[in-house]
Each structure stands twice: as structure tokens, then as C-alpha cells.
């Protein structure tokens, strides 16, 4: 396990522990980084609509991180948070439900046509909010990339494998191209070993 991975494992266990206890677990540099992670973690929780690139930019501007390090840190914080896009979707779902309940309450207590119109407008807004954020759709299944096996291809000279009639003489074409590009022989020459003096 690399130093970075062990650091992240320790951060997962002790992210919000008391600072006095953390001084015994982390080096001063790691402690500074942990405090930065805490800050960005709480910021990202408060703003789930932000994506990793925006978080990396705030790490660059606020903490002076290099671009590559900022993206690594943003990825680590994303791992700590879990799936931020799901948090955003849950927040949008909460907002749509809240609007729908308010519209229901407004319609139920309506005293005139204006209150009814307001309730209808709020209900339509909640519906649009749900559709725009795809709350009415099932969440896509995660693709198990680690289970995908790429196909194995083996290059061959045999053009008959294409199942197309061809009158190309492969050997002649190969010799022509080798001559054109200055390839004299397929076989590599023995290299001479040069000793360092």
C-alpha cells in the first residue's frame, strides 16, 4: 500500500476527530492536508451541485495547490464523500418534494383563484425541476468496468480471413512497401555491446 493510500485510509477513519488526537496520528504536513480536506469536504457537502473540476479550482485558488495535485485531492475528497452526484440528486429530490408539499398546502388553503393559480404554478415548477434533474428516471446501473474483458486480436497476413474476394498478392505488396520505405530485411541485426569506460 502506497503512502498516499495509507494517508487516505487514516483520513477516512479520523476525518473529524479532535485536533489534539490527530497530532498523534498525522505528521504536521499531513495534518495541514487533513484540515484542508475537512474544509473542502464540508464545502462540497454544502454545494453538491459543484463538480470535481470546480472543487479542484477552489483548491488551487484557496490553498495554492498545483493543478495536478488539486485534481488528486478533489478525487480523494470525492472518495471520502461518496458519490457527490447522488447527493446532488437527493438534494434536488428533496427540493422537488418540498415544493410539491408547499403547493398542496397552498391549494388546500386557497381562498381565491389567485391562490389556486400560485399552487398550480408551484406544482408545475416542482414537476419541471424533477424532469430537468431526471428524478422521474431510474438511476443508471454502474458499469462493472473491472469485469469487461477486451477482445484479443491477432494480426495476420492472410487476407482470405476477411471473407471478401481479393486479387491482392500480399507478398508482392509487402515487398513493394518495404522497398518504398527502405526496409531491407525483417531480421534485426545483432547489436554491438559497448562497455562504459
For residues 80 and 86, the answer to whether their CB atoms sit within 8 Å is: no
Q: Which residue has the higher pLDDT, 164 or 44?
A: 44
pLDDT at 86: 64
User: Residue 1 pLDDT more than 50?
Assistant: no
Q: Say if residue 192's pLDDT is above 80.
A: no
pLDDT in tens, 20-58: 888 888 888 988 998 899 888 888 888 878 888 999 999
Own/partner pairs, 26-35, CB within 8 angstroms, 24+ separation:
33/7, 33/73
Question: Could you read off the pLDDT of 102-158 as tens digits, one per residue?
Answer: 888 888 888 888 888 888 888 888 888 788 777 777 767 777 888 888 888 887 777
The predicted model scores a pTM of 0.44
d(CA 104, CA 107): 5
Give the whole-angstrom CA distance, residue 181 versus residue 177: 6
Amino acid at each position: 500500500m502506497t503512502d498516499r493510500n495509507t494517508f487516505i485510509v487514516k483520513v477516512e477513519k479520523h476525518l473529524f476527530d479532535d485536533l489534539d488526537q490527530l497530532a498523534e496520528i498525522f505528521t504536521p504536513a499531513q495534518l495541514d492536508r487533513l484540515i484542508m480536506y475537512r474544509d473542502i469536504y464540508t464545502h462540497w457537502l454544502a454545494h453538491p451541485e459543484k463538480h470535481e473540476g470546480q472543487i479542484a479550482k477552489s483548491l488551487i485558488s484557496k490553498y495554492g495547490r498545483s493543478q495536478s495535485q488539486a485534481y488528486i485531492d478533489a478525487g480523494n475528497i470525492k472518495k471520502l464523500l461518496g458519490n457527490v452526484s447522488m447527493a446532488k440528486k437527493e438534494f434536488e429530490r428533496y427540493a422537488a418534494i418540498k415544493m410539491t408539499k408547499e403547493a398542496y398546502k397552498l391549494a388546500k388553503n386557497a381562498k381565491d383563484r389567485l391562490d389556486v393559480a400560485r399552487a398550480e404554478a408551484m406544482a408545475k415548477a416542482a414537476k419541471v425541476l424533477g424532469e430537468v434533474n431526471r428524478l422521474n428516471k431510474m438511476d443508471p446501473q454502474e458499469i462493472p468496468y473491472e469485469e469487461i474483458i477486451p477482445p484479443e486480436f491477432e494480426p495476420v497476413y492472410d487476407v482470405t480471413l476477411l471473407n471478401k474476394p481479393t486479387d491482392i498478392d500480399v507478398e508482392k505488396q509487402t515487398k513493394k512497401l518495404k522497398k518504398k520505405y527502405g526496409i531491407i530485411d525483417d531480421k534485426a541485426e545483432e547489436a554491438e555491446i559497448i562497455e562504459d569506460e
